[in-house]
Amino acid sequence: MSLIRKLGFAYFALFVIVAAMSYVPQFKDANGMMFGLFKLDLYDDALHLFSGLWAGIAALISTRATVNYFKLFGTLYFLDGVLGLFTGSGYLDFGIFINGMLDLDLMTRIMANLPHLAIGGFAAYAGFVLSKRHGETA
């Protein structure tokens, strides 16, 4: 099995765990905030679950499907993190449309969007760069 497909299965597991964490009380503070930083709602949970299922299905299908997943998903997810960093709301969970710009301090914006920047950035790297280094192009 190719490295890219293994990473696809890892993303599947990651996102299923993230979606499930919303329902584990130990990860929430007294105000229902995950790690004291942000609140995940049904849109977020659906986005995470869909992202994981997409990764898992792509990894089951082929290396090409997984490379395409990482290219598209990574770009969208990373840009969502950039928007969240500047506005406090992302677009993938419709937050920018539902809540508009949020007045959050810089550290909260960084910590809340760092997962999207890191996960999306690595996914884009895997799709655009790593797959070519390993001869696993789409």
What per-residue confidence (pLDDT) applies to 90? 87
Half-sphere exposure (CA, 13 Å, Cβ side) for 69? 28
pLDDT band at 105 (very low <50, low <70, confident <90, very high): confident
What per-residue confidence (pLDDT) applies to 78? 98
What per-residue confidence (pLDDT) applies to 120? 98
Domain boundaries, the chain: 3-133
When pLDDT is averaged across residues 27-54 and rounded to a whole number, the result is 83
CA dihedral over 31, 94, 49, 64, signed as positive or negative? negative
- Chain-wide mean pLDDT for the chain? 90
pTM for this model (two decimals): 0.86
